[in-house]
């Protein structure tokens, strides 16, 4: 009882504690925002002033119905993603290996605009043409090889390789210059030892289970593209793409961006101010219910709310969830236990 009375006589302690928390958390959030802004600037420099949206098919393609309807669903999604590209550019860049004589070889599949937009130079032979991106089963698929493979192949050589469980005939049409690479802020792909395939549209109709699985995975890769967009149009394009993905019937997709859709400084400042307001409100609630401020409650509240603020910032910006809503819900859940304990203590004291 004496200890509780002592805590009741410390309103100034609570006031100064809130002031100190305000200064510390505001400084921390502003510093965190500055670091984020610097990282974002570096990302834009590497990506030549553009932002990128990365799509990824997350469902297991082998669990989708092995029917023509599934293939048509992917084709419809791909058409919607690639048509009317006025505010963005869609790239197909994915790595699916080739198998020859039981050995795995590095291979990358790209759309026609990757060679020009990522400054890939053809040293010998030619690059891809538009007709190279449509293939019948019996026709050879044009392929460009990295410079390290010059000693193993000659121009116009043909060879068989397995791609996604199916055997295809390939024809060498060119070799890349040494040091060719696809560079983005997420990493650099050195193509010197790669087999560079066109991201072809197979026009033959599958007839076996293996062919259906192969074509479903192939189409899932084609719709897991990279979208280049100017930073000012990032949020608009991302919302547009998310709407398309939500309407598709071919499984779940993830959608992430290389930078934040709005300035990190604005989010951090808002988050810091909101955090302080919630901190004061919650402390007041616990003060009323428990009639004392235990040290573990104060320390725990600071740690919990600081962590929640950082998590809320990361999750909200990526999933389009309101920072205010996410923080409020999380704080209510985390602080529910001490509030219930305080209510029980008051009931016992009144009895």
| pLDDT tens profile 32-84 | 666 666 777 777 777 778 889 999 999 888 888 888 898 999 999 999 999 87
Q: Given pLDDT bands bounded at 50, 70 and 90, which one contains residue 212?
A: very high
More confident residue, 325 or 179: 179
Which of 167-171, 266-270, 340-344 has the highest mean predicted lDDT (pLDDT)?
A: 167-171
pLDDT at 257: 85
pLDDT at 293: 52
Q: What whole-number distance in Å separates Cα of residue 6 and Cα of residue 8?
A: 5
Q: Given pLDDT bands bounded at 50, 70 and 90, which one contains residue 188?
A: confident
Which of 80-89, 146-155, 201-210 has the highest mean predicted lDDT (pLDDT)?
A: 146-155
pLDDT at 8: 47
Nearest CA to 81 out of 262, 221, 275, 209 is that of 221
- The position carrying tokens 């493979």 is 149
Given a cut of 70, is residue 128 above it in pLDDT?
yes
Where is average pLDDT lowest: 42-46, 154-158, 190-194, 291-295? 291-295
pLDDT at 93: 93
DSSP symbol at 139: S
In the predicted model, what is the mean pLDDT of residues 108-133?
A: 91
Query: Rounded to the nearest 10 degrees, what angle do helices 295-319 and 11-46 cross at?
Result: 30
pLDDT at 340: 53
In the predicted model, what is the mean pLDDT of residues 21-26?
A: 60
Q: How many helices (H) and strands (E) does the chain have?
A: 10, 17
Count of C-beta atoms within a 10 Å radius of residue 230: 12
* 279 contacts 18 by C-beta, under 8 angstroms: yes
Given a cut of 80, is residue 299 above it in pLDDT?
no
**pLDDT over 90 percentage in the chain:** 36
pLDDT at 321: 46
Long-range Cβ contact pairs of 253-257 (< 8 A, separation 24 or more)? 253/55, 253/56, 253/57, 253/58, 253/223, 253/224, 254/55, 254/56, 254/58, 255/53, 255/54, 255/55, 255/56, 256/53, 256/54, 256/56, 256/318, 257/51, 257/52, 257/53, 257/54, 257/318
Query: Any idea what the Cα angle at residue 32 is, between residues 27 and 35, rounded to 5°?
Result: 130
Given a cut of 80, is residue 349 above it in pLDDT?
no
pLDDT at 13: 57
Q: What whole-number distance in Å separates Cα of residue 327 and Cα of residue 314?
A: 12
pLDDT at 135: 82
Q: Given pLDDT bands bounded at 50, 70 and 90, which one contains residue 258?
A: confident
User: What stretches of the chain adopt beta strand conformation (E)?
Assistant: 51-57, 88-91, 93-94, 98-100, 103-105, 107-110, 122-125, 134-135, 141-145, 158-163, 166-176, 181-184, 187-190, 195-198, 201-202, 226-229, 253-257
Q: Given pLDDT bands bounded at 50, 70 and 90, which one contains residue 283?
A: low
Burial 181-209 (b: 16+ CB within 10 A, else e): bbebbeeebebbebbbbbbbebeeebeee
Entry pTM: 0.69
Measured torsion, CA atoms of residues 236, 241, 245, 246, in degrees rounded to the nearest 10:
10
- The position carrying tokens 């990128």 is 52
Token pair recorded at residue 203: 């026009």
Q: What whole-number distance in Å separates Cα of residue 52 and Cα of residue 29?
A: 26
Mean pLDDT of the chain: 77
Q: Given pLDDT bands bounded at 50, 70 and 90, which one contains residue 320?
A: very low
Three-state DSSP class for 289?
Answer: helix
pLDDT at 140: 92
Q: What whole-number distance in Å separates Cα of residue 246 and Cα of residue 249?
A: 8
Pairing of strands 122-125, 181-184: unpaired
């Amino acid at each position: 009882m004496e200890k509780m009375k002592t805590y009741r006589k410390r309103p100034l302690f609570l006031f100064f504690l809130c002031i100190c928390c305000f200064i510390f958390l505001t400084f921390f959030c502003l510093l965190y925002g500055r670091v984020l802004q610097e990282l974002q600037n570096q990302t834009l420099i590497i990506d030549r002033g553009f932002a990128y949206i990365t799509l990824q098919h997350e469902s297991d393609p082998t669990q989708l119905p092995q029917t023509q309807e599934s293939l048509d669903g992917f084709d419809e999604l791909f058409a919607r993603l690639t048509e009317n590209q006025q505010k963005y550019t869609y790239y197909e860049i994915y790595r699916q290996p080739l198998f020859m004589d039981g050995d795995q070889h590095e291979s990358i599949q790209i759309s026609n605009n990757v060679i020009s937009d990522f400054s890939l130079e053809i040293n010998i032979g030619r690059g891809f043409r538009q007709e190279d991106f449509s293939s019948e089963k019996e026709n050879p698929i044009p392929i460009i090889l990295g410079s390290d493979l010059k000693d193993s192949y000659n121009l116009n050589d043909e060879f068989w390789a397995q791609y996604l469980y199916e055997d295809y005939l390939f024809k060498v049409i060119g070799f890349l210059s040494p040091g060719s690479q696809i560079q983005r802020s997420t990493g650099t792909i050195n193509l010197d030892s790669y087999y560079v395939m066109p991201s072809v549209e197979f026009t033959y109709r599958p007839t076996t289970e293996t062919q259906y699985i192969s074509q479903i995975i192939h189409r899932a890769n084609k719709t897991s593209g990279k979208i280049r967009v100017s930073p000012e149009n990032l949020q608009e394009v991302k919302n547009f793409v998310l709407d398309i993905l939500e309407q598709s019937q071919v499984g779940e997709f993830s959608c992430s961006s290389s930078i934040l859709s709005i300035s990190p400084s604005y989010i951090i400042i808002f988050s810091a101010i909101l955090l302080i307001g919630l901190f004061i409100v919650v402390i007041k609630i616990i003060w009323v219910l428990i009639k004392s401020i235990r040290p573990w409650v104060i320390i725990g509240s600071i740690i919990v709310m600081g962590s929640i603020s950082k998590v809320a910032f990361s999750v909200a910006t990526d999933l389009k969830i309101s920072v205010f809503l996410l923080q409020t819900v999380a704080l209510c859940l985390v602080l529910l236990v001490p509030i219930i304990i305080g209510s029980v203590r008051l009931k016992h004291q009144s009895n």
